[in-house]
Structures are given as C-alpha cells and as structure tokens.
Amino acid sequence: MTLSKKLSFSPHHFKTLIKPYFNNHYHCYPLPFLSHHRLLHSSLFTTPEEATTSRRHRKLLLRVVEPSLASLRNQTQPQTPKPHQTPKPNAARIPEHVSVLTGARLNLHNKILALIRDDDVKEADLFTRHSIYSNCKPTIFTCNAVLNALLQRSRYGQLLEFYRFVIQAGLAPNVVTYNIVLNVYFDRKNTETALEHYKFVMNYAPFRPTPTTYRIVVKGLVENLEVDRALKIKEEMLEKGFAPDPIVYHYLILGFGEKGDIDGALGVYNELKEKLGVVSDGVVYGSLVKLYLHNGMEKEAMECYEETLGEDSNVVMGAMAYNLMLDGLSKNGKFDEALRLFDRMLEEHNPPRLICVDLGSFKIMVDEYCRQGRFMDAINVFRIMGEKRCKPDTSSFNNLIKQLCGSEMLPEAEELYKEMGDKWPNKPDEYTYILLVESCSGINRADDAHRYFTKMVESGMKPNLTAFEKVIDFDKVVVGLIKSGKIEEAKGLFAHRVETQKLEVGSYEAMLRALCETGKLDDVLKMVDDIVTNEKLGLSSEMNEVVTNAFRKEGREAELMKLFEEKEREKAKALAKEDANYNTFSFLGIHRSFTGNEETKKFLPLRPSR
C-alpha cells in the first residue's frame, strides 16, 4: 500500500530531533531517520527532483554533524611538555666513529702523521693542541697517533700531559687511548695505578675492551713479577667471552719461565692446546724455545725449534715469533744457530706481505755483536736496515752509539750521529747528546763537548742540567751562544738554569759581560734590575763600571742611573715601613724582650738593622 499524501515534519519537530547530535562535534552519532534513507527515499518523495534536493540537504547536514577524519587528525592535541633531562656530568661519552675522519679533519690527521714520520713529535704535539680550539678540531684518532709516538719514544711525562689535555678539551677517548695509557703505567712500574685504570675501563667505559687490552695488562703484570694476578686476568678474559689468545698465553709462559716454574709454563701451554685443539701461532713455540734454553733444557729446546721450523710445519711465523727464538739462541751460547736463523729471516722478509724482521730483530743482533766485541759487524748489521725497508728510530741509534762510546769508539759513534740527520730523517734527542758530551769530556775534548751541548740548546731542547753539570761549563756555553748571535737560546738556557740551579754572582756577571760586548743593552738593563732587586746578589764595583761604560758609549747612561735611583727609593721606602711597624709595637708596650709568650714572639717584628 502506498501513502496517499506526503509525510512532512514541522521545523520544531526536526529541530528537536537532531538537537542532541550538535552538542559536541567530536562525539557524533548517526541520525535514526538518516540511517534508513532508502526507506525514506522510496516513501517520502513523489518526484526525483524532491529526492535530489533532499539528498543535497542531507549531505550538507552530514558535513556539519560528522566532521571528516582528516579534520580530526589535523586537530592539534595539547601535548604535555617533557621534563628537561640534564646530562650527567660524569656520564661516559661515546667516542667518535672513524667515519668522522674526512675532509679538513683528514687533512689535519695526515699533517700530524707526516710530522711524526719526520721524527718531529714535539711539533706534532703543539700543532694538535693548537688545533683543538680551531675550526678544524682533531679527532681522537689523530690524538692517538701523537700519544703512540710519545709512547714509542718513552716520553711518558709528556704523554700523560697530552692525555689530560685531550680529556679536558672534551674529546671522548676510545679503547686505543686507554690501551696507550695502560702501557705507560706498566712501563713506569705503576702496577696498582694501571690496574685501577683497567678496572675503570671494564666498569665505566661505553665500549668493550679488546684482546689488546688483555695483552697489555697480562704483559705488564708478568714483567712486574705478578704472574698470579696475570692468570686471573686471563680467566677474566675467557669469562667475558673472548677466545683464547695465544699472545696472552705466550706472556704467561715467559712469566713462569722467569720464575723457573717449568710445570706451570707447560700447564699453560697444555691448557691452550686443549682449548684450541691445534696451536698454529709461532709466538707460543718461540716462548717455549726461549723457556727451555733459559732453564738449561737444551735438548727439549732444539727439538721444539726444529719441529716448529721444519719443512712440514704448519706453524705461522712472524717477526715476534722469530725474535723470541733469536733472542733465546743468541743469549744461551747458540749464536751460530742464531746467525743462520737471522739469515733465514732476512730471506723470507717480504714487506708488506710477510714481515719477518723488525727493529727488535736488529737490536738483538747488534747487542750480541757488541757483547762479543765485534763492533764493526754490529755497525754493518745496523746499516742493513735500510736495504730491508726497516727504518731505524732514534732509540736504535742511541743503543749503538752508547755501546760504541762505552768502548772508546767515539769516531764511529760520531759517524752514526751524522747519519741520523743525513741518511735518515731522525733527530738526535737529549740522550744522544748526553752520550756524546760525556764521551768527549772523558777523552779531554772539552771544546767538542761544549759544541754538542750548544747544538742541543740551539735545537730547542731543555736539557737536564744535572746530567751535564760535571762535564759542562755552562757559563762558557752561554757566552758562546751570545757571541754567535743566538741571544734567545742563551736567554732560554740561562732562565732554565735560574729555575733549576742556585747560580753564583759570577754566572750573572759572565752573561752581563757578553751582553754588553754585543750591545744588547735592553737585556742588560733587565738583568741589572734582577740583580739589584735580589738581596743575595749585587753588582761588584768592577762589573758596575763595565755596565756603566757600555751605556755611556750608547748615550743611555741616564736610563741606568734612573734604574739605580728607583731601586734606592724602593729600599728606603721598605726600611721606613719596617721602622713604622717597630715603633707601633713599642708604643703599645709590646716588645720582644719583655714578652714571655713564645707564641707571641714569632709574630712581633724585629728591630730593622741598618
């Protein structure tokens, strides 16, 4: 049945019907009459036009009642501000990744490496320090290169100063940095400090230690005769999930060997063999050969030696493994066998693919030749380094120069000294000059001794004056520097002497004479000021006349007289102040001679002496 007349709603009825749905735009409910639009469409409208009009009106109504999801999504929800988290000042900082070493920072890194290769570590240190606060800040990898260079040259004090500077500058150290510092503490026999540093790395560093860390700690403990503690570090390494490291076991074998505990050493070797199955690292067998020879077990040593180096052997040999055998043979009456082994090492050496010799190999041979008195053979072996692409460092030169000087072969030592700068880009250090100066002084070559000392000062070094005071006339060196135009070097040496020594008046007068003769009156005026101010010093009448004549010749005598007058006024003012203090205490009836309290006496002034 169809409806005979059209249904309609009054405005009031429609308004009342939809009122609850407009109260909140964000919580909308579907209208009941709109949910059945198909029924209404078929029964309410008589013509299609009315239905179309109603549909348009309904769509407009739905836009108001049901806002789109996009509009709801774009509504800005009030967000509660997150509390600001202040970073902990003691929190460990994450070190930089190697990927930061690009662009300008990579160029800076290469410049520092070039300075280190040229043996100018002092300049590399200063250049890196200055770059810390520049636009191109060095990476921790650049700082590690400088630290390692200082470590190789045993400059431990300078290394620790640079390390503290890096930390204070805000660079986060990485595991290599900590390993270098560990090496320093163990080399300086500061075992407890080294272990504290190691525990800090284990507990607070934001990274895991490397096998190198354990090698350094075990080696340091073994060298300081702490084998039991080294065993605990080895166990700790295994507990942390690291694989058994042959180099760690090698250090333990040598440690037990130094104690004469053969069973302990073999027990460590058997443990490694059980864990790995097959030990193919030659370092372990090299330590066994050295262990047997050191304890008089020649038969076992040679059996192990021949088995390791045989044609059918699968043992991997490197410079470190060869050096252990070479050292054991040369120091235990097997030098002929050591020579054959050294020749084999030179033949197999094929860098960079295979490294069979290093600086340690040549040092072993040089030391043994010198011990046997075969110094020319030692020099010849030393010079082979260049042919085998093995560059000697300053320590290698110093080692041979020391043994030549100790055997009264100073001319040969001086030849090596010349080769340091001519043939190799090595610079002599303070120890080199100490050796040459002492040798020259020992054979009455005082002029040559002063010449070497002067060269050292001219090169910018601050020598340890106590090492030279018995063989060097410092006043003569200072005068020579001034007369040769090296004024700044002379002033630097003299200032260094003032800081470290108690100088007599004669030292000041020698410098004053030299400065007067060269016309450096500004420096003379400053030194006269220092001498007159110091109550323990003073100008003699002869020296006063020399200084006055020098100023008179240049027409500057008034400046000198003005200085003397100012110093006299200062002294008179100081005496007047002392008199005033004394009179004040006397007026109050407080005098040292009438005061019985010893605690009071020490605060009362003495009568100023005239």
Q: Read off the pLDDT of residues 344-395 as tens digits, 9 standing for 90 and up.
A: 999 999 888 889 999 999 999 999 999 999 999 999 999 998 888 888 888 8
> Does 269 score more than 80 pLDDT?
yes
Q: How many domains are contained in the chain? A: 2
Do the domain assignments include residue 23? yes
Are 21 and 62 members of one domain? yes
Residue where a domain stops, chosen among 125, 156, 187: 156
Say if residue 603's pLDDT is above 50: no
Question: Which of 156, 177, 195 is where one domain is finished?
Answer: 156
User: pLDDT-derived band of residue 21, with 50, 70 and 90 as boundaries?
Assistant: very low
In a domain, 78, yes or no: no
Residue 340 forms part of a structural domain: no
* Per-residue confidence band for 442, with pLDDT thresholds at 50, 70 and 90: confident
- Residue 73 clears pLDDT 60, i.e. is over it: no
User: Is it the case that residue 86 has pLDDT exceeding 90?
Assistant: no
Q: Is the pLDDT of residue 459 over 90?
A: no
Q: Are residues 62 and 114 in the same domain?
A: no
Tokens of 16: 């009342």
Q: Are 101 and 152 part of one and the same domain? A: yes
Q: d(Cα 112, Cα 248) in Å, to the nearest integer?
A: 32
Say if CB 409 and CB 402 are below 8 A apart: no
The mean per-residue pLDDT over the stretch 174-195 comes to 94
CA distance 226 to 326: 26
CA distance 530 to 356: 61
Q: Tell me what pLDDT residue 423 has.
A: 79
Which neighbouring-strand residues pair with 316?
281
Strands (DSSP E) found in 334-468: none
Per-residue burial over 98-136, b = 16 or more CB atoms within 10 Å of its CB, e = otherwise:
eeebeeebeebbebbeebbeebbbbebbebbbebbeeee
- 63 and 17 in a common domain: yes
Predicted confidence at residue 559, as pLDDT, reads: 81
Report the first-to-last Cα separation within the chain, whole angstroms: 143
With a CB cutoff of 8 Å and minimum separation 6, the contacts of 337 are 329
Q: What band does 36 get if pLDDT is binned at 50, 70 and 90? A: very low
- Mean pLDDT lowest for which of 76-85, 106-115, 340-349, 414-423? 76-85
In a domain, 358, yes or no: no
Q: What pLDDT shows up at residue 34?
A: 45
Give CB contacts under 8 A, 24+ apart, made by 27-32.
28/65, 28/66, 28/67, 31/65
Average the pLDDT over each of 231-245, 309-323, 515-529, 535-549 and give the range with the smallest value: 535-549
- Mean pLDDT: which of 45-59, 245-259, 492-506 is highest? 245-259
In a domain, 238, yes or no: no
- Number of Cβ within a 10 Å radius of residue 597: 9
Q: Of 114, 140, 156, which closes a domain?
A: 156
Give the helix/strand (H/E) hosting 360. helix 359-371
For residue 589, CA distances in Å to 163, 416, 580 come to 60, 78, 15
Judge if 20 and 57 occupy the same domain.
yes
Structure tokens at 86: 């202040």
- DSSP state string for 481-516: HHHTT-HHHHHHHHHHHHHHS---HHHHHHHHHHHH
More confident residue, 164 or 38: 164
The residue ranking higher by pLDDT, 296 or 17, is 296
Separation CA 3–CA 312 (nearest Å): 112
pLDDT at position 340: 94
Query: What pLDDT, on the 0 to 100 scale, is given for residue 427?
Result: 82
CA–CA separation, 83 and 74 (whole Å): 25
Residue 350 forms beta bridges with which residues?
A: 354
Residue 548 lies in a domain: no
- 195: pLDDT strictly greater than 90: yes
User: Does the residue 28 lie in any domain?
Assistant: yes
Q: Which residues pair with 215 in a beta bridge?
A: none
The rounded mean pLDDT for the chain is 80
Identify which of 218, 235, 236 has the alpha carbon closest to the alpha carbon of residue 226. Answer: 218
The answer to whether position 31 is within a domain reads: yes
- Residue of 250, 233, 239 lying closest to 328 (CA atoms): 250
Evaluate whether 375 touches 403 at the Cβ level (below 8 Å).
yes
Which tokens belong to 476?
């003569």
pLDDT at site 26: 43
> Domain containing 25: what range?
11-70
Classified as helix, coil or strand, 520 is coil
